[in-house]
Structure 1
Amino acid sequence: MKAMVLCAGLGTRLRPLTEAWPKPALPFLGQPLLRYHLAVLKAAGVTAVGINTHHLPETMEAVAREECERARLPLHVVREPVIQGTGGGIRGLRDFLSDGDFIVYNGDILYPVDLRPVVAMHQASGAMATMVLLPMPEGEKYASVEMDAAGRVRRIAGRGPGGEGLMPWHFTGVHVMSPRVFDFMSPQGAEDIFRDVFARAMEAGQGVRGVRVDGYWSDLGTPSRYLATVRDVLAGRVRLEWLGADSPLAGTVRGPGSSWAHPDAHVCGATVEGPAYFGRGVRVADGSFVGASVSLGTGAKVGSGARLQSTAVFEQTEIASGETLTEVLAWGAHRIPAPLTGR
């Protein structure tokens, strides 16, 4: 089975971070976010991966090639000079994907679950597409997927034939598709996979099904959600089994306080409360304080007397002596607010 990871988005809500990295290439607890996607897909039986690129295409392709080589997965890349939307992006990989059912996976989520039962259910149902769903997250305003009691999706974001007794669900960013989906795509131009392609297919009588797969899910598309996901992983709220050796905590050792540290991280002399993560080459000076929900990426340095609480420090970033950071993403000279309440 093949899979596509959607990688063309602009990531405007995460600027200035996305001026350096496309969202799937963003470092997250010492590794590109894409590595976690590939671990889930490989565990589901995927044997080759395709991506679309648009924003920072050279960076995205370089990260994808390195990560796919590491995972021993062949990579197919399509560059979009003009961004094509989710439907147009999938259409761009038609030649790569058309030889059987395939998985499409959003590039900006963390969702470590077993997708093998979803693939089996999709293939047994004969549906054109199977959407992986969860109950709507409390307080969020994502467009809903409306499904009937038989598991048939009847409306998405207000589009589709509708029906009686429909319940709203949240789309996780993962679905399995049959090549029949390409029959309902426009020959060219940007389009949305749900509002355009699936809406046409459902009106034509094609089956789109939904299946609930419980597990931790996060969209890392804003500073607050990124930091909340760091917090949740370090607090043990995320089951990491399906990431295997690609878990962000694999290869670390338990450090001072409640922390995980790369073997060559140096944190002696600092007060560590944690939970915290110290990546490769991190240096934390004596007299500094590291509180809860803190991650320090590769090569980060923390000066004496600095105090960090609920903060993600990105690669090669220096925190000045005496600097105090709370609910912030720190990258270079940038200090990006990431409030964890009222988000």
Structure 2
Amino acid sequence: MKAILLAGGKGTRLRPLTLNTPKPIVPIFNRPFLMYQLDQLRQVPEITEVILSLNYQPRRIEETFGNGEALGIKISYAVEPQPLGTGGAIKFSAQTVQDSVIVLNGDVLQQIDLQAVIARHRAANAKATIVLTPVDNPSAYGLVETDASGNVQRFLEKPGQDEITVNTINAGVYVLEPDTLDRIPDNETYSIERQYFPSLVANGETFVAYVNDGYWIDIGTPEKYRQVHRDIMDGRYHAAPFLDRAGGIVDLGARIEQDVHIQGPCFLDEGAVIKAGARLGPYAVVGRQVQVDEQAQVRDAVIWANSVVGADAVVEGALVGRNCHIGRNTVVGGGRMLGDRSTVTDYSRL
């Protein structure tokens, strides 16, 4: 069985961070985002190959994962000649697929029993299975209605308050039969959500849902990107760096000088330097080789590798790219994002 990971998006909502780093490999702590999805796929023994569907900066992603040998799973690549939409990307990537294929949206982090999803698909003898997740505010998404037996009945895009009948939305995980992909035209833009799935309903084909109540988040906005770090630190999503860490403080080899105050949960990557009197946390993520100078403060912020936070500066509620320099006595907060190699001069307020 093969899996397809849809990882071709440009990550426009995370710009400028994604100008040099494709969204599929933006770091969550010290690991590329897609690594967490690959971890899930490796837990399904019958998945023998993962196909990464790419379009934006594919070479950067291929360099990150290679052929998968180091990860213990075979990885291949399907690079779209131009953006083909979600359905077109699946059709383009599935040229060698001969069995049921599992598809994951590369924007989403979730905890789910993929083997249970596959079992549901096979027990129903379904042509397609879609994973749904309940949300608090369904009006912001497209709803998916099912009958009492879990058969998909209707899709409703961004409904008004008086149209909300359920709170389940498309979670971005599917199991598809290869013979259903023939309806998708070759090398044309085609939406799996707006065209492929409604065609299954219209034709009366067996199309079932699997409702997953576990963790689910779309990391595609700055706030959600910061939130996923907080959620892992708080244990809402279980990831290895924060298992059994006293005080929620993960230190992978930072150099910490005297009189530094650290309040967990927080994360310090290898080679970080925290100078005398600095204050970190809670929810500070300090990347590899980052330097936090004397009396500086970092809270609820993600700082990528090789950046410098100057003396007496405050970074709170912000995202900072690689090789940035934040001057002394500077304040960066309020959800600000700094792209790679940004410089904020001394005494600035952002």
TM-score bin (small chain)? 0.7 to 0.9
Q: Is the 8 A contact 1:103 1:177 kept in 2?
A: yes
**Match status 1:155 vs 2:163:** no
Cα distance between partner residues in 2 of 1:80 and 1:175: 20
Cα distance between partner residues in 2 of 1:38 and 1:242: 16
Aligned CA distance change for structure 1 residues 182 and 251 (closer, same or farther; 3 Å): farther
Aligned CA distance change for structure 1 residues 149 and 307 (closer, same or farther; 3 Å): same
* Counterpart amino acid of residue 262 in structure 1: D
Aligned CA distance change for structure 1 residues 316 and 43 (closer, same or farther; 3 Å): farther
- How big is each residue's C-alpha offset from its partner over 1:129-157, in whole Å with a ceiling of 9 and x where there is no partner? 11111113427611111111211111224
Structure 1's unaligned 5+ residue stretches are 159-164, 336-343
* Counterpart amino acid of residue 94 in structure 1: A
Cα distance between partner residues in 2 of 1:174 and 1:334: 37
| Equivalent residues in 2 for 1:53-132, closer than 5 Å | 53-65=54-66, 68-96=68-96, 98-132=97-131
* Counterpart amino acid of residue 286 in structure 2: F
* Counterpart amino acid of residue 55 in structure 1: Y
Structure of greater relative contact order (alpha carbons < 8 Å, 6+ residues apart): 1
- How big is each residue's C-alpha offset from its partner over 1:70-104, in whole Å with a ceiling of 9 and x where there is no partner? 312222212212211111100002222x2211211
Cα distance between partner residues in 2 of 1:150 and 1:70: 42
Over 4 Å off, 4+ runs: 241-244
% of aligned pairs identical? 30
- Per the alignment, residue 346 of structure 2 pairs with none
- Per the alignment, residue 339 of structure 1 pairs with none
1:290 maps to which of 285, 298, 323: 298
TM-score (norm 2): 0.83
Which structure has the larger Rg over C-alpha atoms? 2
- Per the alignment, residue 326 of structure 2 pairs with 319
Structure 2's unaligned 5+ residue stretches are 158-163, 244-248, 257-261, 344-350
* Counterpart amino acid of residue 316 in structure 1: N
Q: Is the 8 A contact 2:48 2:74 kept in 1?
A: yes
Cα distance between partner residues in 2 of 1:69 and 1:253: 27
Number of residue pairs aligned between Structure 1 and Structure 2 = 322
**Match status 1:303 vs 2:310:** yes
TM-score (norm 1): 0.84
| Equivalent residues in 2 for 1:24-35, closer than 5 Å | 24-35=24-35
Aligned CA distance change for structure 1 residues 236 and 2 (closer, same or farther; 3 Å): same
Cα distance between partner residues in 1 of 2:138 and 2:166: 17
| Equivalent residues in 2 for 1:6-21, closer than 5 Å | 6-21=6-21
Cα distance between partner residues in 2 of 1:182 and 1:286: 59
